[in-house]
């Protein structure tokens, strides 16, 4: 259902984002947009210990940093240009 590339190692960043946020950016990229429930499922399979409340909090922060755009519907969150730059897509 969702692509799970939890083997991806975080890379260094400018200090604004943490490894959890970097993981979420990569999951959004790999799944061409994904909602928090989908992220929860992937995190659970990868045994990362992310609950829905933690993911919701991270997504809100990432939106405030203009890394993602939170949408309603099946695609959930998508990357902004800034988010793409962080993970080397821009």
Q: Residue 50: what pLDDT?
A: 87
Q: Where are the alpha helices (DSSP H) in the chain?
A: 19-30, 36-45, 52-64, 81-86
What is the value of pTM for the model shown? Answer: 0.80
Tell me the angle at which helices 19-30 and 36-45 cross, rounded to the nearest 10 degrees.
110
* pLDDT tens-digit profile, the chain (90 residues): 555 544 444 344 456 789 999 999 999 999 999 999 999 999 999 999 889 999 999 999 999 999 999 998 778 999 999 999 999 876
Domains of the chain: 19-86 (1.10.10.10)
- Closest to 87 measured CA to CA, from 4, 8, 1, 34: 8
């Amino acid at each position: 259902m969702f692509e799970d590339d939890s083997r991806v190692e975080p890379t260094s960043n400018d200090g604004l984002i943490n490894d959890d946020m970097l993981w979420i950016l990569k999951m959004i990229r790999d799944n061409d947009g994904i909602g928090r429930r989908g992220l929860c499922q992937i995190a659970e399979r990868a045994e990362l210990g992310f609950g829905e409340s933690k993911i919701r909090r991270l997504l809100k922060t990432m939106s405030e940093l203009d890394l993602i755009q939170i949408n309603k519907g099946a695609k959930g969150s998508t990357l902004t240009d800034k988010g793409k730059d962080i993970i080397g897509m821009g």
